[in-house]
Chain A
């Protein structure tokens, strides 16, 4: 690709140097529109929210960008807010563990099918993965509703109606339903690349089937478990839509709490401080994953360039936000 200006004229410097300079300029030209966009509409908002977290909330619910203080961060120490953070962390952990428990045997089954069957089954996994997330949460809401089909079914079976909607259980079901595929895909990738002759060797050396699994298969697929856990934990912890639709007032999570600070409560600084905290927590989770990921791969490779095995992972990561 040539920059619009054409080749630079050889102005004293050696031709090679000029070429190197031209190439650098091409890179900047290519990158700058996107980088500028990101700077204005992502980096500036990010800085702004951090600035807001140190601002003052006036008595009318407006935000005064003066009198900088740590009040909002101190407010986070409040028991109510700590309770919300704790509940969010607990539900996200529960969701992650359930996704591993449900997803691992499932991914194992998928990965050990013959090639042509595997392709079909993988499509069946990908469809819900790409399906509109809101619609899927709504489907659970509809199914579990007190006058919904599940309740009608249990009533007609003489089991009575059940009230599960607007409880933490409903939120957990919704999150597992929403994020399970994010766990299954990295697990599948890890299991599919598994060298089964190693398990075979363990068996030949008289390891029992279960011992071979716990000592060989599971450790070798650890990278998939870690990657899947991050992909599930991150959106569960910050989830807003799922608890809003399936949870009641008793299941207030940090995502909904942040939202309410910007809507009804109009305490922008507190909402901003919680957002900053949430972002830092997510970055930490991702950094830990990268470290353990590169560790499992033998370390030496640079961090962001380890996309050899990550063709699938990149696509998995891209789905994380959906």
Chain B
């Protein structure tokens, strides 16, 4: 890769760059496409094409373990997104607007769940729940790992992600709009409800979509805090892959892929609206 510069970029270098770009795109997309194509393979042998079929989708969706895992995943994603959007947005507002004791500590801590590796977060929470249950059990009630511990763990990392995204939005916020509302005798609540909230809504929505995506994606943390009989879909897929590749797994993966892509398109549409809104402003 020599001789590149915007001006006088050599003809040959430019061609190489373009070719390289398409090689990289192929690298990014070919594995996914192959996976999707083979999920429609009628043959039970994974490497031989035996004609088009929806057979594996049918089998996957009639498997009780899989449908229950899908249900757990959706419930956890919905609950953790809802809670983390509210808590994360409130923290973002507090950090952006207010000075209070402990602000700096909170500001530093909020980034940690984003930075530390999944596996350490997973074992931290595993140990935490073990100790917490020991403590609670001594008072009577018996709790075990399950859907609620998964949801609690997902909220623990999602708050931070929502907070960061909303804060990025608050950073570009035009404070004079709030001052104008105040000058026109709007109360604090009215100003928030009618001015602040609508303006940061795209940030909140983007944070929510990110939380939803991360919750549906998470496998490591869920694998450690899931209980017997309550796993999420990624955890099921993860443990199945270890036992070997089956056409059924291709079908489930394709469904997960479709869910991811829907979320990407939603967030892109959101960005476009955000961009056109800021152009109007």
Contacts and interface: CB of A to CB of B under 8 A. Distances in A.
Interface of A: 1-2, 23-28, 30-31, 33-35, 37-38, 41-46, 48-49, 52, 102-106, 108-110, 112, 121, 123-128, 130-136, 138-143, 145, 147-149, 151-152, 177, 180-181, 196, 199-200, 202-203, 208-210, 212-213, 216-217, 234-235, 237-241, 244-245, 255, 258-259, 262, 268, 271-272, 275, 278-279, 282-283, 286, 304, 307-308, 310-311, 314-315, 317-322
A322 B213 contact: yes
Main secondary structure of the interface of A (DSSP, over half): helix
Given A213-B5, A321-B118, A31 B106 contact: yes
Contacts of B168: 307, 310-311, 314-315
Interface residues of B, number: 114
A171 B214 CA distance: 23
B186 to A, nearest CB: 12
A45 B32 contact: no
A134 B219 contact: yes
Contact of B18 (A109, A282, A314): A109
A124 B8 contact: no
23 contacts: A28-B98, A31-B102, A33-B86, A35-B102, A42-B109, A48-B127, A49-B124, A106-B21, A112-B6, A126-B264, A136-B31, A139-B32, A141-B241, A148-B245, A200-B7, A216-B5, A238-B118, A238-B120, A239-B117, A259-B119, A279-B117, A304-B108, A310-B168
Given A109-B21, A318-B165, 17 more contacts: A1-B192, A24-B98, A31-B100, A33-B90, A38-B159, A42-B112, A131-B264, A134-B238, A142-B245, A142-B250, A148-B46, A203-B7, A208-B3, A209-B10, A238-B118, A279-B116, A286-B115
Contact of A27 (B94, B120, B188): B94
B179 interface: no
